[in-house]
Amino acid sequence: MSWMAWTTPTAIFFAVIAALLVIFTVLAIRYPETPRTGILRIETTRGDRLFITLLGSAFINLAWLGFEIGPQPWALLACLIYAAAVFRWV
């Protein structure tokens, strides 16, 4: 895998995504969930909300970089607030 620049932040990013997938799989097996309808008026499960959160977080980070809003670590705070809102209301 010498074609990719494996830095520590890159490894942490992929490790966190893998850990989230494992955790949500275990939660789905251990505590089955019925879909719920939130403000989007679509039925979502925990996995759907995780996908929406990851996709939205990618766009938040791209906008943060593109508009040069501030230091990138602050984008993480924005993503965490967004994730809390998605899991609460979507």
Q: Where are the domains of the chain?
A: 1-32, 36-90
Residues in CB range of 13: below 8 A, 6 or more apart: none
Q: What is the pLDDT of residues 60-82, one digit of tens each?
A: 999 999 999 999 889 999 999 99
Q: How confident is the model at residue 37 (pLDDT cuts 50, 70, 90)?
A: very high
Burial of residue 90 (CB within 10 Å: 0-12, 13-18, 19+) is middle
